[in-house]
Amino acid sequence: MKLDPCKFCGGVAGTPRDDQIERDAWVASVDCTGCEITVTMQYSCDSPQRAVECIGEMWNSKPAARL
């Protein structure tokens, strides 16, 4: 998935990271390479692929970033 430029600084999005939080639960996050923004999932998916897909959609739509 192609990630849009950062909504805050216009910078390039970093590579999505996936993290396993339980045996069958994954979350993912994306850091901006231009500012301190990180978009992190507030829920989990059942595979790392799905988690990275979800975080890509989230980054491209409405970053739930906290400054």
Q: What residue ranges bind Zn ion (CB under 5 A)?
A: 6, 8-9, 11, 32, 34-35, 37
Q: How far is the CB of 49 from Zn ion (least distance, A)?
A: 25
Cα-based angle 39, 43, 49 (whole degrees, multiple of 5): 75
Q: Residue 26 or 63: which CB sits closer to Zn ion?
A: 63
Q: How far is the CB of 39 from Zn ion (least distance, A)?
A: 10
List C-alpha distances in Å: 51 to 6, 11, 31, 42, 60: 19, 22, 15, 11, 14
The residue sitting closest to Zn ion, measured at its beta carbon, is 6
